[in-house]
């Protein structure tokens, strides 16, 4: 069905386990097993009858998946749908963010870094995107306490330009 809905209706919730069991093939099996072990937990972030338009969101069927029977285009489309379906059923991505403000020569500099606590839903996606700039990749920072003194190894002046708007992903494309 054609729909712009991003939500499931409550009558679909009892079928989620069967739909997951139909996806027990590579590359989805490890995520399906993890979700089934935790138990399928529906919540308002993706189950809401009031936000379902003419039809609920597009999700995999209960039929066992036969990837070999799909064409390349069908496989890519199924992969988008399956990954989104698995991601909403996975636990949240958890990380600890550190932000450091350093004063050097009267100027204030900022550094941010993340330490991943749990991959959660991001484990479903190959989130190492080739389009990402090196500067935008998350960095890890050492343990620091307020008032610590650090030594400056080097400083490099850079010039930059503004960036164009980000490309569409399946979520922003559906919204647009």
Which residues form the domain of 15?
10-89
Task: State the DSSP code for 162.
Answer: P
Quick check: is 157 in a domain?
no
Tell me the three state secondary structure of residue 2.
coil
Give 137's contacts (C-beta < 8 A, 6+ positions apart): none
Question: Is 37 in the same domain as 61?
Answer: yes
Among 50, 73, 89, residue at a domain's last position:
89
Total domains in the chain come to 2
86: number of CA atoms within 13 Å, CB side? 27
Task: Decide: pTM greater than 0.75.
Answer: no
**pLDDT for position 2:** 66
Question: Is 34 in the same domain as 78?
Answer: yes
- 12 phi-psi bin (left φ>0, alpha ψ -120 to 50, beta other): alpha
- Extended beta strands in 15-156, E state: 94-104, 107-118
Residues 32-72 pLDDT 10s: 999 889 888 888 888 877 777 777 777 888 888 888 888 99
Tell me the three state secondary structure of residue 17.
helix
Question: Is 95 in the same domain as 85?
Answer: no
Quick check: is 17 in a domain?
yes
Question: Is 74 in the same domain as 145?
Answer: no
Of the candidates 72, 74, 85, 88, the residue with the CA atom closest to the CA atom of residue 21: 85
**pLDDT for position 130:** 45
As beta bridge partners, residue 97 has 114
Question: Is 113 in the same domain as 103?
Answer: yes
Count CB neighbours of 23 within 10 A: 21
Q: Which helix (H) or strand (E) holds 41?
A: none
3-state helix, strand, coil in the chain (%, to 5): 35, 15, 50
Tell me the three state secondary structure of residue 95.
strand
Cα–Cα distance, 147 to 90 (Å, whole number): 39
**Which of the residues in the chain have pLDDT under 70?**
1-3, 126-138
Question: Is 75 in the same domain as 97?
Answer: no
């Amino acid at each position: 069905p054609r729909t712009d809905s991003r939500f499931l209706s409550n009558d679909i919730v009892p079928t989620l386990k069967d739909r997951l069991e139909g996806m027990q093939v590579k590359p989805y099996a490890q995520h399906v097993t993890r979700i089934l072990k935790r138990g399928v937990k529906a919540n308002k972030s993706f189950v809401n009858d009031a936000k379902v338009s003419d039809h609920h969101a597009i999700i995999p069927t209960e039929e066992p998946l036969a990837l070999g029977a799909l064409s390349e285009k069908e496989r890519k489309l199924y992969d988008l749908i399956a990954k989104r379906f698995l991601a909403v059923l996975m636990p949240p991505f958890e990380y600890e963010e550190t932000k450091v403000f350093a004063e050097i020569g009267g100027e204030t500099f900022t550094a941010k870094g993340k330490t991943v606590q749990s991959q959660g839903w991001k484990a479903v996606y190959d989130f190492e995107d080739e389009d990402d700039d090196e500067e935008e990749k998350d960095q890890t920072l050492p343990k620091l306490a307020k008032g610590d003194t650090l030594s400056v190894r080097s400083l490099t002046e850079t010039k930059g330009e503004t960036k164009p708007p980000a490309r569409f992903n399946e979520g922003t494309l559906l919204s647009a």
